[in-house]
A and B are shown apart, each in its own frame.
Chain A
Amino acid sequence: MPDPGIAPIVTLTDAAKHFGAVRALDGVSLTISPGECLGLVGHNGAGKSTLVNVVNGGLAPSGGEVTFHGGTDALGAGVRSVFQELSLCPNLTAAENLRIAHGGLKGPGWRRRARAEIRESLDTVFPGHGIDPGAEVDRLSIAERQMVEIAIGFAPRDTPARLVILDEPTSSLDAGIADQLLDHIARFCAGGGAVVFITHMMGEIFRVATRIIVLKDGRVVADHGASDFTRTGLVDAMGHVAAEDAAELSERRTGDEIVRTEDGLAACEGEIVGLSGLAGHGQAEALARLYLGETSAWRSRAVPPMVFVAGDRGRDGLLPLWSILRNMSISILRQGARWGLVDRAAEAKIGDEWKRRIGIRTDDVTNPIMSLSGGNQQKVLFARALASEARVVVMDDPMRGVDVGTKQDVYAMIRAEAASGRTFLWYSTETEEVCQCDRVFVYRAGRISAELTGADITEERILEASFEMQEAS
């Protein structure tokens, strides 16, 4: 618990952050003081990364206040972040990367000093690490890169590190190295530093955190000393107390197995298969691998074996210069085409039909795709896939930014299509959606950690499989 005698490092007063209508952070008050190790847990979309970015000064809050004590801004106050996505320059060495963050390293002999500093920091955090500070970062393994990044986070730069935010720092480290990091966090906090620690490993949280904060829907729902929590209590605090209406899931009959991958992902005809787990644990990659393996970059078939519904619309789905209609029809052009020409009458017919069926809010499907709201763009991507005659539909978290009404429509449509024999592989970050599936694969650290069917598909079971419940060692 914060000691009132010591000045805090950063204080949030009713801080809020809105992205359009989405309240990513909905009024959070928080004080982080020297000596604290704050464990931050919450489900996907609970607002963890938004909170982190507000604390490190990367995002200005839309409401409330953030005060840094001991400096005018986050960097001046000694607040550093180590991100999950690697933010090193891969073409530079570890020592050179330190130079980018540490402006005081200049003049003759700076390279020697930079090497010494990064080596010292690495030695402190990860004794016996074996990393050459003069090696270019892209020659290092993922784990070594993560270690360098952590070492730069803790290194004394222009100001000493006072608060270090670690977002899933152990995700690519093996148990022994993760142990060293946890030991260092404990030492760092004992020495008057503070750490904010985000992880999916329950054991790690209970081992180092002095205080645990549970976020849900952009609010702090629990904030106690770590000893006041039990593991199951923590999982309960994160999850909904959702009324299960599993009754509507009548046992549906499914056909022969038509998808099976090396890593164990499988699906039968007419089955809705869910992929779950915390975001970024390999679900999207597994689906992309499956899709790219089943289709070719050199040949196209009139009826594709598989279609893909993108969730990251900008990166994987939209063709931004085109109309709604052209975006919708791109995967079905070869169905019934002659002489390699587009059958524009048939295209228009399908466009109108799907506009009606899936309820795209536009007066004309020849309007640009970018004139639609995010949810309606997503409907177009659904229509693109469902309009084809492909037997398997792969969906990569397709409900981002879709309103509740549309979701219900799409759920109904998916169920109807599955009943007629189509197979769906559905990665979703929302447990509520996954609970609608016939079978669920839970991913953790790039691998399938559990396969659930029927009555076993519950939020508790999925959360259990998403978090590493054993001791971290």
Chain B
Amino acid sequence: MSVLSKPWIWAWLAALVTFAATIGLTSGRGTGELAYAALSFGAFAAIVGMGQMLVITLGPGNVDLSIPAVMTLSATLALKAMGSEPGTALMGLGVALAVGIGAGIANYALIFLLRLPPIIATLAASLVYQSLAIWSNRGLRIRPPEGLADFATGRMLGLPNVAWVGLVIAVVLWAVLERSIWGRWLLASGQNMRAARLAGIPVELVRATTYLVVAALAGLAGYLLASFSGGAALNMGAEYLLTSIAVVVIGGTSIAGGYSNVPGVWGAALFMFLVVSMLNSYGAGAGVRSVLTGAIIIGIVIAASTRRLRT
């Protein structure tokens, strides 16, 4: 199999081309800064995107619309628990993850017990999470503890710390999908839920853990984003609703389920950021950026479907 036939390569090539086009304009000045910014901001989209990827891998109808609300809620509660006190970073992380996992349990309970389609279950739950966040936040902006803010904005070996976190998660997820039994179960369930059940796979267990993992990742992303940007804001997650789905699709993961693509999500997350900065540096407005993003998403789905029809 040649490199070009790997679905993730396209997202990375696209990211590289936009990167080159952007620095071409400035004749190489600011290359390092652009790469650094792309890795920092791309990390958040990549983390929630990888979670969304797992859910979409479960097959048609599976999608988590509560990611933005879970991000906001866990960030708000974690910052409140830490109260800007030094030395509370780990406790805050625990709170954020616990909130995420709790939301995941609630989401799956709605799906399983009320037999709701995942779209409507996660949508209804997200409205409640959003209100919880508004209520607990009360318009206050609590700053993250000093050490945590330094970590979130700091760097190690030249790479942003948040990108390191995103990379570690990517490696772990890649290993889980490629090497573990649970990964095999997930991929099999997404290809054909009925066949997977008849092959002896505990499909409900797989679904439950998947919805838990995506919510936990959203909690982590919210925690990091709030620490990165100096506090939780109520609309901090909003843009990640559509972005999380978009990076999954652009990254080459099959929207029909059963095929995950971890490197592609990272490539797509970088690409999404770089397109914006490229268009910015060419002086294009927000309208052009948005139209282009939409055209890219639709182009990719059409390309993927014609490839499917040909084979």
Contact = CB atoms under 8 A, between A and B. Distances in A.
B35 interface: no
A133 to B, nearest CB: 31
A292 to B, nearest CB: 7
Nearest to A292: B197
Interface stretch (B9-17, B120-128, B202-210): B202-210
B179 A342 contact: yes
A337 to B, nearest CB: 6
Interface in B191-230: 191-192, 194-205
Given A315-B195, A319-B195, A319-B258, A300 B201 contact: yes
A342 B180 contact: yes
A300 B200 contact: yes
A316 B200 contact: no
B184 interface: yes
Contact of A321 (B181, B202, B204, B254): B254
B184 A321 contact: no
Given A319-B191, A321-B258, A330-B188, A297 B197 contact: yes
B195 A317 contact: yes
Given A321-B254, A340-B181, A342-B180, A300 B202 contact: yes
Given A297-B204, A298-B205, A300-B202, A334 B195 contact: no
Given A337-B181, A342-B184, A320 B199 contact: no
Contacts of B203: 297
B202 A310 contact: no
B198 A310 contact: yes
A316 B204 contact: no
Contact of B192 (A300, A319, A337): A319
Nearest to B208: A298
A330 B184 contact: yes
B227 to A, nearest CB: 32
A304, A330, A331, A344: most-surrounded residue (chain B CB, <10 A)? A330
A299 B188 CA distance: 16
B271 interface: no
A316 B197 CA distance: 9
Contact of B195 (A307, A318, A333): A318
Given A292-B197, A307-B200, A330-B199, A340 B180 contact: yes
Contacts of B129: none
Interface residues of A, number: 33
A427 interface: no
Contacts of B184: 326, 330, 333, 342
Interface in B133-192: 179-182, 184, 187-188, 191-192
A299 B205 contact: yes
Q: Which secondary structure characterizes the binding site on chain B?
A: helix
B8 interface: no
B259 interface: yes
A316 B195 CA distance: 4
Interface residues of B, number: 24
Interface string A304-346: 1001101000011111111000100011011001001110100
Interface in A267-297: 288, 291-292, 295-297
A340 B196 contact: no
A337 B181 CA distance: 8
B309 to A, nearest CB: 14
Contacts of B200: 295, 300, 304, 307-308, 330-331, 388
Contact of B202 (A292, A298, A317): A298
A295 B203 CA distance: 11
Contacts of B191: 319-322
Nearest to A288: B198
A299 B201 CA distance: 8
A422 interface: no
Contacts of B201: 300, 330
A334 B180 CA distance: 10
A384 interface: yes
Contact of B194 (A296, A300, A315, A388): A315
Contacts of A384: 199
Contacts of A319: 187-188, 191-192, 195-196, 199, 258
B181 A317 contact: no
Given A297-B205, A341-B179, A317 B198 contact: yes
Nearest to B256: A321
Interface string B251-279: 00010001100000000000000000000
A341 B205 contact: no
B259 A333 contact: no
Contact of B259 (A297, A321, A334, A341): A321
Contacts of A321: 187, 191, 254, 258-259
A350 B94 CA distance: 43
Nearest to B207: A297
Given A318-B192, A319-B192, A340 B182 contact: yes
Contact of B198 (A308, A333, A344): A308
A288 B195 CA distance: 12
A310 B198 CA distance: 8
B311 to A, nearest CB: 9
Contacts of A317: 195, 198-199
A241 to B, nearest CB: 38
Contacts of B179: 341-342, 344
A316 B259 contact: no
A443 B87 CA distance: 71
B38 to A, nearest CB: 31
A259 B187 CA distance: 32
Given A321-B254, A322-B191, A340-B182, A331 B202 contact: no
A97 B55 CA distance: 38
Nearest to A368: B311
A334 to B, nearest CB: 6
A310 B181 CA distance: 22
A319 B254 CA distance: 14
Q: Which A-B residue pairs are the 8 nearest by beta carbons?
A: A297-B204, A319-B191, A300-B202, A308-B198, A304-B200, A333-B181, A331-B200, A330-B199
20 contacts: A298-B202, A308-B198, A315-B192, A315-B195, A316-B195, A316-B198, A319-B187, A319-B188, A319-B199, A320-B191, A321-B187, A321-B259, A322-B188, A330-B188, A334-B181, A341-B179, A341-B181, A342-B179, A342-B180, A342-B181
Given A297-B197, A318-B195, A319-B258, 20 more contacts: A291-B198, A298-B205, A299-B205, A300-B200, A300-B201, A300-B202, A308-B200, A315-B192, A319-B187, A319-B195, A320-B191, A321-B254, A321-B258, A322-B191, A330-B199, A334-B181, A342-B179, A342-B181, A342-B184, A344-B179
